[in-house]
Copies of this chain bind each other. A is one copy, B any other.
Amino acid sequence: MAIGVNCNEHVQGEQAIVDLLAPLTEGDPGAFGLKDDCALLTPAPGVDLVLKTDPIAEGVHFLSGDAPADIAWKALAVNASDLAAKGAAPLGYLMALSFPEAPTRTWMASFVAGLRAAQACFGCHLIGGDTDRRPGPLTVSITLIGSVPQGRAVLRTTAQAGDALFVSGTVGDATLGLALARDSNLATVWGLTPSEASHLIGRYRRPEPRLTLGSALRQHATAAMDVSDGLVKDLERMLRASGVAGRLRAGEVPLSAAARKAIARSPERLAQLLTGGDDYEVLAAVPALRAAEFRAAAAVPVTEVGRLGLGEGLLVEGPDGVVLTFDRTGWDHF
């Protein structure tokens, strides 16, 4: 930022916002430094492109007090998570930014820093976009484009009866993190250390798409999707899309140490962990005979949590073997 610029002043005009974003295109000639109307992308031979758009809005997908850098990170991460589940690697993204009022230079600097960190971590660049002003919540709409070797994308629709069900990382942290971000007293209720509380909140604010799982998924998984609207709901979607039935063993769903503490104090929250959103973990169906190989190939921890079978519908077994039912299986906007 130039010396003498007042960082709390509002950015004047669309062009000034574009100028602040333009450095995020460096290294990508097809972005033309945001000086053209469109972005160009020349796909490498032998790849399929994988495309996803998933906008995030203040008050819906993030809290109004969240740091601009976290908002930026999350906006890119939620899209990268979908690509990760397909076994794809991000290439570039277009971003439409809608502000209810012009942002300040300080806000933009933090937002750009968050995007810079995320794109360095996920391996992609900003290649184009749009900005406008309108009433309503601040919205960041990213369309992410990635690539996968031709014919090797891991779909949601191809799970097979007999497959073992895996989930990456841990489930439910973000749901607890959101509750903590809204009510910090819960840290005491759950007996969490400050670092455990901050781990859970971090999982809500800065999800880490499982991009390093791509190679293991492409090698071994028959189907995969990311878990973003709740494990139970997303698993039901995979079963429906693939035309198979499933059994989920709730007691084997991987939980972080912090989440286990919270559950020990508030056992009624287990259902919330299984149906809360914002996990951004990968759910994968793997032939049972290749489960060990998949586990060995996976660059992040993966846990077997159930089995697929013939038929339809999902049965969730509680830790005590009793079948669990849910008032809501996951997040639905409508």
Most buried by B among A49, A133, A136, A139: A136
Q: How far is the CB of A224 from chain B (nearest CB, A)?
A: 9
Main secondary structure of the interface of A (DSSP, over half): mixed
CB distance B53 to A141 under 8 Å?
A: yes
Q: Is A98 an interface residue (CB 8 A)?
A: yes
A193 proximal to B (CB < 8 A): no
Q: How many monomers of this chain does the complex have?
A: 2
Bound state CA distance, A2 and B95, in angstroms? 38
Which 6 residue pairs of A and B lie closest in terms of their CB atoms, listed nearest first? A136-B136, A143-B143, A133-B333, A53-B94, A132-B333, A41-B49
- In the bound complex, what is the Cα–Cα distance between A80 and B78 (angstroms)? 27
A61 to chain B, nearest CB (A): 8
Q: C-beta contact mask, A4-42 vs B, less than 8 Å → 1, else 0?
A: 000000011110110000000000001010011111111
A60 within 8 A of B: yes
**A52-B155 in contact (CB<8A):** no
**A3 CB to nearest B CB, Å:** 24
Taking CB atoms, residues of chain B closer than 8 Å to A136 are 57, 134-137, 139
* Residues of A in contact, count (CB < 8 Å): 66
A127 within 8 A of B: yes
- Would you call A86 an interface residue if the criterion is a C-beta within 8 Å of the partner chain's C-beta atoms? yes
8 A Cβ contacts from A300-325 to B? none
CB contacts (< 8 Å) of A281 on chain B: these are none
**10 contacting pairs across A/B (C-beta < 8 A):** A14-B332, A38-B88, A38-B153, A39-B52, A51-B94, A52-B94, A53-B96, A53-B143, A54-B96, A133-B333
A95 to B52 alpha-carbon distance, docked (Å): 10
Tell me whether A48 is interfacial, beta carbon within 8 Å. Answer: yes
A241 touches B96 (CB 8 A): no
Given contacts A53-B130, A57-B134, A60-B132, contact A82 B139 (CB under 8 A): no
CA distance A129 to B141 in the complex (A): 11
Question: In the complex, which residue of chain B has the Cβ closest to the Cβ of A42?
Answer: B48
The residues of A with any CB-CB pair to B shorter than 8 Å are: 11-14, 16-17, 30, 32, 35-43, 45, 48-55, 57, 59-60, 82-83, 85-86, 88, 94-96, 98-99, 102, 127-137, 139, 141, 143, 145, 150, 153, 155-157, 225-226, 241, 332-334
| Beta-carbon contact of A49 and B53 below 8 Å | no
A175 to chain B, nearest CB (A): 18
Closest chain-B Cβ to A283's Cβ sits at a distance in Å of: 10
- Please pick, from B12, B60, B141, B156, the residue contacting A37 in the complex, using a CB distance under 8 A: B156
Q: Which residues of B are found within 8 Å of A334, using beta-carbon distances?
A: 11-14, 16-17, 99, 102, 133
Q: Which residue of B lies closest to A40 (CB)?
A: B48
Residue on B nearest A92 in the bound complex, by CB: B51
Bound-complex Cα distance A41 to B91 (A): 14
Once bound together, how far apart are the Cα atoms of A54 and B130, in whole Å? 6
Q: Shortest CB–CB separation between residue A315 and chain B, in angstroms? A: 21
Complex contact A135–B59 (CB within 8 A): yes
Residues of B within 8 A of A53 (CB): 94-96, 128-130, 141, 143
